[in-house]
Amino acid sequence: MQAYYEIETQIPPNHRLNLQLPDSIPAGTAKIAVIYELPEKPETKATKMAAFLQNLSEFILVGEGLSRTAIDAQLRQERQEWD
């Protein structure tokens, strides 16, 4: 049987943690997972274009295809979002 214990802490600049666990957790083998937030990266024109091309290629790969008119409309929409 497994149990779960969670504690929130700050990671210091030296990246070392010293944890004091409650006495109710028995000595022995344990797994430790570190869950943290990644810093948000600002969207740039390049990342927006990359996302658009990825979505476009996925759309085409599923066999639906796009007409020239649909592609032009999508490009116009993407360009408006960049401005």
**61 in any annotated domain:** yes
pLDDT at 25: 94
Cα 81 from Cα 39, distance rounded (Å) = 23
Find the angle CA(50)-CA(55)-CA(59) to the nearest 5 degrees: 150
**54 in any annotated domain:** yes
**72 in any annotated domain:** yes
pLDDT at 15: 92
**13 in any annotated domain:** no
pLDDT at 81: 78
15 CB-contact burial (10 Å; exposed 0-12 / middle 13-18 / buried 19+): exposed
pLDDT at 70: 78
**38 in any annotated domain:** no
**21 in any annotated domain:** no
User: What single-letter amino acid sits at 28?
Assistant: G
Cα 63 from Cα 23, distance rounded (Å) = 59
**8 in any annotated domain:** no
**30 in any annotated domain:** no
* Neighbour tally for 66: CB within 10 Å: 13
pLDDT at 65: 65
- Local confidence pLDDT in tens for the 83 residues of the chain: 899 999 999 999 999 999 899 999 999 999 999 999 888 877 788 888 888 888 776 666 554 566 778 778 878 888 887 76
Tally the domains of the chain. 1
What domain range is 72 assigned to? Answer: 45-82
